[in-house]
Homo-oligomer: A and B are copies of this chain.
């Protein structure tokens, strides 16, 4: 039997601003990454998103990012490892407070946007992030890019971790994602995207942009839930997984 987790970034609305079809996507995934009020999300949005996950019995984690609402946490910022550690801690705590108040438990932490991308390559930042999670609760799973420094850091300090892959992104030979600015970065054909995911799960292999096969071992697949098209793709991927005998399960069960 094969298993995989499906994770999605959620709780990204802010005040009067709505982003994401959270109510529609939550029943389709196994792990929700909930924004924590820095790059997106506000306290009331956090509360409602935690409730929604609880109601649907879906695992959820904290999705901390830069304090850059205007840039949605997607702009690189020159932050010290110490500050990075502290913005992780405060955001994990902010979200966990709603979990605790609802009597449920956080399953994982996945940094967002530029913080995620920078920590994939920057050892000191990766270490700071892993240490923040570890110090807060060493049973939390760090969810990050397959082959990233962030997962290496988790491994080093003994924090549970999980590698995620992207159905719609091309890979370089070293296992990193092809930069969005590069030709061929996106897998636009949905059937191809689905086949690639199935192959990653069953064969632990992916064909890179250069045409080479590399090893990859996904615990989770990151999906999007911000448009009707995105929802349809998630349904498509779920059907394909079912047909191929791949069961969708939350991160914690895959790792255990």
Contacts and interface: CB of A to CB of B under 8 A. Distances in A.
Contacts of A136: 97, 100-101
Interface of A: 14-19, 37, 40, 42-44, 46-47, 67-72, 74-79, 82-83, 86-87, 89-98, 100-102, 114, 132, 135-137
Nearest to A69: B15
Nearest to A46: B90
A240 B86 CA distance: 40
A94 B36 CA distance: 10
B70 A67 contact: yes
A209 B160 CA distance: 49
A82 B17 contact: no
Given A94-B94, A100-B93, A72 B15 contact: yes
A44 B89 CA distance: 10
A75 B86 contact: no
Nearest to A137: B100
A35 to B, nearest CB: 11
Contacts of A77: 68, 71, 75-78
Contact of A43 (B40, B78, B86): B86
A41 B19 CA distance: 16
A26 to B, nearest CB: 19
Contacts of A15: 69-72
B43 A114 contact: no
Contacts of A67: 68, 70
A14 B93 contact: no
A117 to B, nearest CB: 10
27 contacts: A14-B69, A14-B70, A15-B70, A16-B72, A16-B74, A17-B17, A17-B19, A42-B70, A47-B86, A47-B89, A67-B68, A71-B77, A71-B79, A75-B77, A75-B78, A75-B79, A76-B76, A78-B114, A89-B101, A93-B93, A93-B95, A93-B97, A93-B98, A94-B97, A100-B136, A101-B132, A101-B135
